[in-house]
Every structure is written in structure tokens, then in C-alpha cells.
Amino acid sequence: MAGPEAPVSLFVSIEDKEGEGLAPVVDVDRIQRHFKAAEGSVCLRFIGNEEDSSFNCLQMPLLLKELEALDSGELRADEREELAKITRLVRKFHDKSGVHARFYGERGSGE
């Protein structure tokens, strides 16, 4: 049985309008603890383990800026590695029409 401090995974997926994956899913379990506390966040504050979040092609450039800004903060090496994976994924698709960045919280995806 996992204790209260056990990490909970967050799955990051880039999908088309129909929900078809366009890239391999990224699984992280540490970096998301920094999202809600990100200074001036518009997008990151909505990403967490409790609920799923989705950002469309109009929102993804802002999401990318917030991810890049988070990289300048104090992060452990493992957190920085996870952030880099997410940032690379969002950067690759941030200017593509009809694309969504979806963050599936392990607790929020119990359907």
C-alpha cells in the first residue's frame, strides 16, 4: 500500500481533435508539484493529479512559455528531466492546428 507521499503519475499526451495520439505519451510523477505554485501561471495552475486538463492549439504557445519559465526555477535534476520531456513535446506541436496537449491526472482519469 502506497503512503501519502507516494508519487502519483501524470500522463501527458498530444492528440488530434478526435483524441488520437500524435506522439508517445510522457509519464511524469515529480514535476507537477511545481505547477500550481508557478508565478503568474495561466495554464500550469490547472494541471494536477486530481483532474484532467486540456490545452488547444491557441493555448499551447502560452503553455510552452510557462513551461520554459519554470525551467529557470529551482528544480531537482529528476524534476528538470521531466520538465524537459514535457517542454520538448509541447514545443514540437505548439503551432499545429487542431492539436491538443492533454494532461491526464492519475486520480482524475478514473472513468
Spatial neighbors of 83 by CB under 8 A, at least 6 apart, are 31, 67, 70, 71, 75
The residue with cell 508517445 is 24
pTM equals 0.86
Residue in 78, 79, 68, 93 with CA at minimum distance from that of residue 13:
93
pLDDT for 111 equals: 46
In this predicted structure, what is the pLDDT of residue 90?
98
Q: Where are the domains of the chain?
A: 10-16+30-105
Q: What is the pLDDT along the chain (111 residues), one digit of tens a residue?
A: 344 455 678 999 999 999 999 999 999 999 999 998 887 899 999 998 888 999 999 999 999 999 999 998 899 999 999 999 999 999 999 999 999 999 999 775 554
Question: How far, in Å, CA of 43 to CA of 47, rounded?
Answer: 7
